[in-house]
């Protein structure tokens, strides 16, 4: 699923939208395949650590925690600006993933769990700021998701 999601996200949402809007389908497909190879390299890198199942579960939860608050907010009808969703996910990844890797390698699950909770809190705070700024009269509806 990570391969499919990465390939689709890269080829359609990033490459065709921002890098080369006039790209052919063949070029877009190549960009998606390169991104899929990148994900495979990351997976191979992690496999060298010979992780156990609990290690993998905690790392996956650290990666997924950034999308929980924006997703639930949008499902419940909240309006989030696109910048808020992006910043929420990337900032939580920047916090949770290093703490997950370090905590797992050091054998200290407390570091890992605290990093994941801090990432969840960061994601929630950024989403709250995004909601409050989207209610401001100067905000235009074009930059808001969930309408």
Q: Where do we find the tokens 């996956």?
A: 60
Residues 113-128: pLDDT tens digits? 899 899 999 999 999 9
What pLDDT, in 10s, does the model give residues 57-115?
777 888 888 888 988 988 988 888 888 888 888 898 899 888 988 888 888 888 988 99
Task: Quote the pLDDT of residue 26.
Answer: 92
Residue 138 has pLDDT above 70, yes or no: no
pLDDT band at 37 (very low <50, low <70, confident <90, very high): very high
- Check: CB of residue 145 under 8 Å from CB of residue 85: yes
* Predicted local distance difference test score (pLDDT) of residue 145: 57
CA distance 136 to 123: 20
**Residue-level pLDDT at 124:** 93
| Structure confidence by residue, pLDDT tens digits, 39-49 | 888 878 877 87
- How high does pLDDT run on average in the chain? 83
Q: DSSP states of 57-107 as a string?
A: HHHHHHHHGGGHHHHHHHHTT--EEHHHHHHHHHHHHHHHHHHHHHHHHHT
User: Which one has a higher pLDDT value, 12 or 126?
Assistant: 126
Res 30 pLDDT > 90 = yes
């Amino acid at each position: 699923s990570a391969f499919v999601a990465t390939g689709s996200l890269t080829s359609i949402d990033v490459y065709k939208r921002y890098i080369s809007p006039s790209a052919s389908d063949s070029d877009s497909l190549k960009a998606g395949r390169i991104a899929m190879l990148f994900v495979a390299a990351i997976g191979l890198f992690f496999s060298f650590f010979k992780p156990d199942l609990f290690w993998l579960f905690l790392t996956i939860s650290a990666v997924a925690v950034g999308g929980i608050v924006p997703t639930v907010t949008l499902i419940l009808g909240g309006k989030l600006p696109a910048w808020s969703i992006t910043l929420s996910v990337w900032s939580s990844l920047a916090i949770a993933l290093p703490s997950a890797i370090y905590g797992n390698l050091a054998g200290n699950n407390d570091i890992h769990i605290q990093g994941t909770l801090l990432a969840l809190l960061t994601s929630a705070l950024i989403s709250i700021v995004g909601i409050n700024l989207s209610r401001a009269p100067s905000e235009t509806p074009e930059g808001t998701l969930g309408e």
